[in-house]
Amino acid sequence: MKTVSLKLLTIIADEALQKRLIEDVKKLGAKGYTIEKAYGEGEHGGRISAWEGENIRLELLVSPEVADKILEKLACDYFNKYSIIAYLCDAQVLRGEKFL
């Protein structure tokens, strides 16, 4: 099968940031996204119930350039304030041109 090389950008953040994050990644060129609820524990303590606040896992398939722009935005506006995780993986994507 013919695939396209893209980046899978994963952002784990407080659910309260969902709207802002989506606005920002769309502005920076992401064509779409997938969101799941996420639970876990880290430096900022546990995020284990709806009451105490939950995380979301936001996944985007984007070109390396867009991925870079988004990471820069996160570093500039989010990292100093919010507990947030972001990482990139390489992805071979079917019908990848949809995401460019």
Between the alpha carbon of residue 5 and those of residues 41, 50, 58, the distances in Å are 32, 37, 20
Where does this chain touch another protein (CB under 8 A) — which range of 12-20, 27-35, 64-72, 92-100?
A: 12-20
Where does this chain touch another protein (CB under 8 A) — which range of 3-11, 16-24, 59-67, 89-97?
A: 16-24
Q: Site residues for another protein, window 41-100 (CB under 8 A)?
A: 44-46, 48-53, 76-78, 80-83
Cα separation of 61 and 9, whole Å?
6
Q: Name the minimum Å distance from CB 49 to another protein.
A: 6
Between the alpha carbon of residue 77 and those of residues 31, 48, 63, 83, 92, the distances in Å are 21, 25, 21, 12, 30
Cα separation of 93 and 99, whole Å?
9
CB nearer another protein, residue 33 or residue 82: 82
Q: Which residues bind another protein (CB under 8 A)?
A: 14, 16-17, 20, 44-46, 48-53, 76-78, 80-83
